[in-house]
Structure 1
Amino acid sequence: MWFTGTGSSVVGAAWANSAAASMLDLDDGHRRARGHPGAAVIPVAFAVAAEMGAGLEDLIASIVIGYEVGVSIAAARTTYGTTGTWSSYAVVATAAALRCASCSVVEHALAIAGESAPNSLFMSAPPLSFPTPESSDIKEGIPWSVVTGMLALDLAEGGFTGPRNILDSGLLYRFADVSPLGESLHICNAYYKLYCCCRHVHPPLEATLKLIEQYQLDAKAIEAIDIETYGGALRIANQTCPATLVDVQYSIPYCVALAGLAGRESLLPLTIDCLTYEGVSALANKVSLTVDAEIDKQFPARTLARVTIVCGGRRYVSEVTEPRGEAGDSLSWEELKAKYVAATRFHATGAQQKQLLAAVEELRSKADLEPLKACMSTSFEKSIARPNA
């Protein structure tokens, strides 16, 4: 289990690392899938690669395959489903590639996984339904999809069968609208987050911060923040007085207010201090959310928002804003390294951060996986003092 110095079974390690990635809410995402393949695929790939003694090329190939299968199936769905409803397919593909499973086993494993995946019926309901889903540690069901996907492969290897025609259902899937596997690798079109919160939060967050910085606004003097965005963004809980960090991750008003008062670094990473930061709930209650028809038409291909801030009796209106890190304007390698350093600053020393970055550079330049494996197997758990709220 990464950076804990503690081991587990293959399923246990994959579950723990997937849960950590999902809980942090800094994992990558994919527009076509409307979800987060990496938090499921990558923990499984590392766990099964360790089990099989696989090398770097096989590890990377399994990750690419997992993204291809998972995103393709997610994009073919005729109805929206949170990541956990389709990432179990990606898990099967990733693990099966490393175990060199037969075609018959893969067929049944995919079918078992598809039928056994988290249903997320409540979280996958249409936008603006009642009641609004309550944020919880279940989130999108990604860690449980890891368990169901890996057990589906184990079952299929033992002769257990699944409904192999599940993906032939035109009621559930429409593959005619999906590019053939391998035509344009899905893993090359993932987006990256710069804040530990739901992607729906990022467009208005970026727009708000730009206005505050451009006009040197005093966040404490803001009278109102009006956010125009797409319907999906109104589907999350959006609490103005959150009780947990998960509540914060799913709240546009609170994250916007927190970043305005405490700075963008308060969301990379989120800490328990954010729940008691002075004035955040008061400012969050001044945030309004509405759906803009033109912006809504572009979702899910693009996630956009326009923000109007009223401060000192004047109105400041942003451009229609897209969050940073999208596939078409991806973060640079230096920006990704800076993100890692910022996100781990309370849990790793400077020496530990440098150790991991050096291990990744060894992998990039020399195709040597061993330094990274050694680094990930040691404990990086160190409580580092952080500023009080």
Structure 2
Amino acid sequence: MTPEPSSSSPIGRAIATALTAIRYEDIPEDVLATTRAFVLDTIGVIGAATHAPGMENLLAALGEWELGGSATLLLNGRTANPATAALANAAAAHSLDFDDQHDPARVHVFCVVLPAVLAAVEAEEMVHGRDALAAIAVGVELFCRLGLACYNSLGKGWHPTTALGSLAAAAAAGKVLKLDAEQMVHALGIAFVQMSGTTQFIADGALAKRLGPGFAARNGVLAAQMARHGLTGPWRFLEGEAGLFNLHERGEVRPEILTDGLGTEWHLRDLSMKPYPCCRCTHTVIELARDLRREGLTGDDIESGTIELGRVNRQIVGAAFDRSHPNPVVHAQFNAAYTFAAALRDGEVTIPTFLPERIRAADVAFAARLETREAADFEPTAIAPARVRLQLRDGSTIESTRLTIKGAPNDPMSEAEVLAKFRNCLNWGLGEDAAAIAALERIALHLDEQEDARDLVRSFLACRTEARAA
């Protein structure tokens, strides 16, 4: 590969050099344990996606052009080329909006990185589980740092999971493919060339919201493979005049976050696991509703109300609730008023909460009486805080505020809650085969002990009861 000239990006080279140098043995045990837990969570969420809106359509669309390949489409067990598999599996991981998030960075990370690594693992045929786990951790860490460095990407209209995910997927796949530092620079540059994704699909309630992480995973796998074969990308993909910092982020960046302590300090530790299958911006609102329900409040008591959020949260989930919305699922998943109403009525928010018939039910119609406002005392980009002010039919008012968000490091899900979520997801999507689910659970939580990382794919497929019956 042609060496890059001296004007090359020192940031891009520093990142590539650091990433390629990280070995499994260099990663602290608590970081590895966190990575294993989120592998478990993500593979469970993929399993739950079997009947998610758009997934059958996506598999049909991709399947028409695929005659087979070395990687697996997890939801139907068919094979495809690794880039296609990465797309399909990452879309599945994000299809229920039940996947993890780094709250300060506002990126969903494992939905992109894990499918990219699995695609690369299957393409390479024999990759030890510890190398796969290290690749996942490295890609996730870069993803978290990108989101933190580009701290207002979402506020400008980018969907940072889709946009920044291409770079993270390239890094993760590049680790599996054993790229050297020179190749890694170009893999990141080629991923940048493919970078895209805005929040317009949220505003329009489009199923393309699920596809964004798929495009990112596909882009990263392709970028790593192309760089391995000598194709070059722009090396000033970060600070160049038309690079990420200036063109996409308009100068709103903290570039030092990308390199400070890379390889020794781990922002991966700050990931949040989602307790509810909807936009993270609604989760504190859901907790407020559940708190009020425990105090005896019902939807019938409410005359009107206001949900107060930070500016960016309100941009994402602050639209008025519309029961007749043509795309009700995405609309409801990104609607603070609906999620509050559903949580108040049912006491929980689960996958069935976002079925069209539930969204359009009469008993949650009072969500239309709730409006949203920007809270002057919340940081504009803060994701956790939320407040509700309710006017009741008896003339009284209620005000309630929460400043923390369930699933975050300062309010984590318990081990029992994590395992219950995993098992419930697989039961919902793949069938209730307790033995197969337990086997998958063991492999996910001990991935680095597997001589062949493809065992994770094989054990997932073993949970597909309808496939075994056929």
Where in structure 2 are the equivalents of 1:1-389 lying within 5 Å? 1-52=73-124, 53-77=126-150, 79-80=152-153, 81-82=158-159, 83-120=161-198, 122=200, 133-139=203-209, 141-169=212-240, 171=246, 172=249, 173-178=253-258, 179-213=260-294, 215-236=295-316, 238=319, 239-241=321-323, 242-243=325-326, 244-267=328-351, 270-280=354-364, 282-297=365-380, 299-300=381-382, 302-313=383-394, 314-352=396-434, 354-364=435-445, 367-368=449-450, 372-378=456-462, 380=464
Using the aligned pairs only, state the percent identity.
23
| C-alpha displacement of 1:371 | 5.8
In the alignment, the residues of structure 1 paired with residue 438 and residue 360 of structure 2 have an alpha-carbon distance, to the nearest angstrom, of 33
Q: What TM-score does the superposition give when structure 2 sets the normalisation length?
A: 0.72
Native 8 Å contact 1:212 1:260 kept in 2:
yes
In the alignment, the residues of structure 2 paired with residue 223 and residue 78 of structure 1 have an alpha-carbon distance, to the nearest angstrom, of 38
Q: Which amino acid aligns with 2:179?
A: A
The alignment yields a C-alpha RMSD, in angstroms, of: 2.6
Native 8 Å contact 2:387 2:401 kept in 1:
yes
| C-alpha displacement of 1:122 | 4.7
Native 8 Å contact 1:259 1:267 kept in 2:
no
Q: Which amino acid aligns with 1:327?
A: P
Native 8 Å contact 1:40 1:142 kept in 2:
yes
Number of paired residues? 370
Comparing 308-317 with 160-169, which one deviates more in the overlay?
308-317
Distance 1:103 1:363, change over 3 A: same
In the alignment, the residues of structure 1 paired with residue 199 and residue 278 of structure 2 have an alpha-carbon distance, to the nearest angstrom, of 22
Query: Which digits, 9 at most, give the CA deviation of each residue in 1:34-89, with x for residues without a partner?
Result: 11111100111122112222111011100011012222223222651321111101
In the alignment, the residues of structure 2 paired with residue 343 and residue 363 of structure 1 have an alpha-carbon distance, to the nearest angstrom, of 15
Q: Which amino acid aligns with 2:234?
A: P
In the alignment, the residues of structure 2 paired with residue 79 and residue 305 of structure 1 have an alpha-carbon distance, to the nearest angstrom, of 19
In the alignment, the residues of structure 2 paired with residue 121 and residue 206 of structure 1 have an alpha-carbon distance, to the nearest angstrom, of 25
| C-alpha displacement of 1:267 | 4.5
In the alignment, the residues of structure 2 paired with residue 154 and residue 347 of structure 1 have an alpha-carbon distance, to the nearest angstrom, of 32
- Unaligned runs of 5+ residues in structure 1 are 124-131, 383-389
Distance 1:370 1:360, change over 3 A: farther
Native 8 Å contact 1:113 1:148 kept in 2:
yes
More helix by share: 2
In the alignment, the residues of structure 2 paired with residue 248 and residue 36 of structure 1 have an alpha-carbon distance, to the nearest angstrom, of 19
Query: Which digits, 9 at most, give the CA deviation of each residue in 1:181-204, with x for residues without a partner?
Result: 133322221101111111111111
* SS of alignment partner, residue 389 of structure 2: strand
Distance 1:363 1:228, change over 3 A: closer
Q: What TM-score does the superposition give when structure 1 sets the normalisation length?
A: 0.86
Native 8 Å contact 2:426 2:432 kept in 1:
no
Distance 1:278 1:357, change over 3 A: farther
Q: Which amino acid aligns with 2:215?
A: W
| C-alpha displacement of 1:361 | 2.6
- Unaligned runs of 5+ residues in structure 2 are 1-72
In the alignment, the residues of structure 2 paired with residue 363 and residue 137 of structure 1 have an alpha-carbon distance, to the nearest angstrom, of 29
In the alignment, the residues of structure 2 paired with residue 95 and residue 365 of structure 1 have an alpha-carbon distance, to the nearest angstrom, of 20
In the alignment, the residues of structure 1 paired with residue 409 and residue 205 of structure 2 have an alpha-carbon distance, to the nearest angstrom, of 27
Native 8 Å contact 1:229 1:296 kept in 2:
no
In the alignment, the residues of structure 2 paired with residue 164 and residue 272 of structure 1 have an alpha-carbon distance, to the nearest angstrom, of 46
Query: Which digits, 9 at most, give the CA deviation of each residue in 1:195-241, with x for residues without a partner?
Result: 1111111111111221121x212223322232111011221263432
Comparing 91-100 with 340-349, which one deviates more in the overlay?
340-349
In the alignment, the residues of structure 2 paired with residue 119 and residue 265 of structure 1 have an alpha-carbon distance, to the nearest angstrom, of 28
Native 8 Å contact 2:433 2:463 kept in 1:
no
Distance 1:363 1:203, change over 3 A: closer
